[in-house]
Amino acid sequence: MPSFDTVSEANMVDVKNAIDQTNKVVTNRFDLKGTSAKVEQKDRELTIYGDSEFHLDQVRTELTMTLAKRNVDVRFLDLGKVDKIGGDKVKQVIKVKNGIESDDAKKIVKAIKESKLKVQGSIQGDAVRVTGAKRDDLQAAMAMLRKEIKDLPLEFNNFRD
């Protein structure tokens, strides 16, 4: 029976490359030269450092623009609060989301049921598997999910005939 998986995963290689590119740009920018502005990564957690909130905003903007150029959806980023770390220096922790949370998965399955397409959705851990009798129905389900679920960066993989 044909099926595909609906997932929400950021390409971490592109995220790492975007961080490296952002750090290069920040060290060469005139308004940020000689400051402690930088981005660090630990697994799925990014930390932005700056001498002031203005510097922090500049680095965050540069990071999101670089991620967008590398086709990494910025909806994967979960911005934390800005913390002071001594003196005027500040930092912000940004988490990179991975997987579909259970509430969002239920919303996807509900949208599939309400669409009246001849497909079924089932939650498989942090992904939603959609199965149907015909390939055309699955492609229609993909188009419907792209249109209906706008707050999640969805990808479709593991397509099987």
pLDDT at site 160? 86
Summarised one tens digit per residue, pLDDT across range 143-161 is 999 999 888 898 899 888 8
Which residues neighbour 127 within 8 Å (Cβ) at sequence distance 6 or greater? 5, 6, 7, 99, 100
CB 145 within 8 A of CB 154: yes
| Whole-number Å distance between alpha carbons of 2 and 138 | 8
pLDDT at site 140? 92
Q: Among 114, 108, 147, 139, which residue's Cα sits nearest to residue 126? A: 108
Whether the predicted pLDDT of 95 surpasses 90: yes
Exposed e or buried b per residue across 41-78, where buried means at least 16 C-beta atoms within 10 angstroms of its C-beta: beeeebebbbbeeebbebbbebbbebbeeeebbeebbe
pLDDT at site 112? 93
Identify which has the larger pLDDT, 32 or 20. 20
Summarised one tens digit per residue, pLDDT across range 32-86 is 888 889 999 998 999 999 999 999 999 999 999 999 999 999 999 999 999 998 8
